[in-house]
Amino acid sequence: MLARRLRRQGFVIHVFSYASVRLDLHANAAQLARFLDTLDADTVHLVGHSLGGILIRALFQDHPRQKPGRIVTLGTPHGSCRVAQHLNRHAFWRRAMGKGVAQLLAGEPQQWTPPPREIGALCGTRSFGLGRFLYRGLPRPNDGLLTVKESAFPAAQEHLVLPVSHTGMMFSRAAARQIAAFLNAGRFDR
């Protein structure tokens, strides 16, 4: 739905899927770098939801020479994730969350240099989702998985909070409009 809405705004969309459970962030970043090399474009904007935003940061950490463009992260656990920390105590959830989340919980992304791009971080405040039920102590405001504080990125030029859930932001017209605004102008439409 998000890709369709961004296409309607005039963007050419290429969706990259990755194996967040089986492969670590660095292996996925290498695959993303190869994928981006195949695109015939002078400017490439990147939009990442949840761990996808961390993957974009891994891309710039490991493969810094990228085409110019802006970055928008949506509900990305830049400041870790309490729900994942809680679930990580159990072997089943540790395996289910995979290698990328293990690196996140170990604090590896906090050591990385921020990407040298204009970055917008979109956070949600609609406390609806599985995370809220798996971890009852999730402080508000949250998107049902991440608190606003966890999804804020200190290196971002712009932060925007919308009344959407973690998954719902992928289907939100308002989120799509704000992503397009940031990709076009380097700022959210306030």
DSSP helix/strand/coil, 173: helix
In a domain, 156, yes or no: yes
Question: Alpha-carbon torsion 79, 83, 84, 90, what sign?
Answer: positive
Domain count of the fold of the chain? 1
Q: Which residues of 66-90 are buried (b: 16+ CB within 10 A; e: fewer)?
A: beeebbbbbbbbbbbbbbbebbbee
Scanning 25-172, the segments in alpha helix (DSSP H) are: 25-37, 51-62, 82-87, 91-105, 130-134, 148-151
pLDDT value of residue 61: 98
Q: Render pLDDT for 100-147 as a digit per residue (tens, 0 to 9).
A: 999 999 999 999 999 999 999 999 999 998 887 888 889 999 999 999
In a domain, 99, yes or no: yes
Indicate the average pLDDT of the chain: 95
Q: Position 89: which residue type?
A: R
In a domain, 119, yes or no: yes
In a domain, 116, yes or no: yes
pLDDT value of residue 45: 98
pLDDT value of residue 131: 80
Which CATH number belongs to the domain containing residue 172 in this structure?
A: 3.40.50.1820
Lookup: tokens for 147: 């608190």
Q: How many other CB atoms are found less than 10 A from the CB of residue 166?
A: 26
In a domain, 190, yes or no: no
pLDDT value of residue 122: 98
Percent of the chain at pLDDT exceeding 70:
100
Q: Which domain holds residue 117?
A: 2-185
Q: How many other CB atoms are found less than 10 A from the CB of residue 42?
A: 8
Q: Render pLDDT for 39-77 as a digit per residue (tens, 0 to 9).
A: 999 999 999 999 999 999 999 999 999 999 999 999 999
Q: What is the mean pLDDT of residues 152-158?
A: 96
DSSP helix/strand/coil, 90: coil
Q: How many other CB atoms are found less than 10 A from the CB of residue 147?
A: 21
In a domain, 28, yes or no: yes
Question: Alpha-carbon torsion 59, 64, 67, 69, what sign?
Answer: positive
pLDDT value of residue 132: 76
Q: What CA–CA distance (Å, rounded) separates 75 from 167? A: 9
